[in-house]
Chain A
Amino acid sequence: DGGITQSPKYLFRKEGQNVTLSCEQNLNHDAMYWYRQDPGQGLRLIYYSQIVNDFQKGDIAEGYSVSREKKESFPLTVTSAQKNPTAFYLCASTDGTGYTFGSGTRLTVV
Chain B
Amino acid sequence: SQKIEQNSEALNIQEGKTATLTCNYTNYSPAYLQWYRQDPGRGPVFLLLIRENEKEKRKERLKVTFDTTLKQSLFHITASQPADSATYLCALDQSSFYNQGGKLIFGQGTELSVKP
The number of chain B residues with a CB under 8 A from chain A is 26
A103 at the interface (CB under 8 A from B): yes
A42-B109, A50-B97 provided; 10 other pairs, C-beta below 8 A? A6-B43, A42-B105, A43-B91, A45-B105, A96-B100, A97-B49, A101-B43, A101-B44, A104-B42, A106-B41
Which chain A residue lies CB-closest to B6?
A42
- Interchain CB contact under 8 A, B42 and A103: yes
- Interchain CB contact under 8 A, A99 and B46: yes
> Which listed residue (A30, A35, A58) contacts B100, Cβ 8 A?
A30
What are 29 A-B contacts defined by CB distance under 8 Å?
A6-B43, A30-B101, A31-B101, A33-B103, A42-B4, A42-B89, A42-B108, A43-B89, A43-B106, A45-B103, A45-B104, A45-B105, A50-B97, A90-B43, A90-B44, A93-B101, A95-B101, A96-B98, A96-B99, A96-B100, A96-B102, A97-B49, A98-B34, A99-B34, A100-B46, A102-B43, A104-B41, A104-B42, A106-B41
Compute how far the CA of A58 lies from the CA of B34 in the bound complex, rounded to whole angstroms. 19
Compute how far the CA of A42 lies from the CA of B6 in the bound complex, rounded to whole angstroms. 10
Residues of A within 8 A of B103 (CB): 33, 45, 48, 58
Compute how far the CA of A104 lies from the CA of B40 in the bound complex, rounded to whole angstroms. 11
Chain B interfacial positions (CB closer than 8 Å to A): 4, 8, 34, 36, 41-46, 49, 89, 91, 97-109
Chain A interfacial positions (CB closer than 8 Å to B): 4, 6, 29-31, 33, 35, 40-43, 45, 48, 50, 58, 88, 90, 92-104, 106
> Which listed residue (B45, B49, B108) contacts A101, Cβ 8 A?
B45
Compute how far the CA of A66 lies from the CA of B103 in the bound complex, rounded to whole angstroms. 17
Given the known A-B contacts A45-B103, A98-B34, A98-B46, are A40 and B97 also in contact in the complex, defined by CB atoms under 8 Å? no
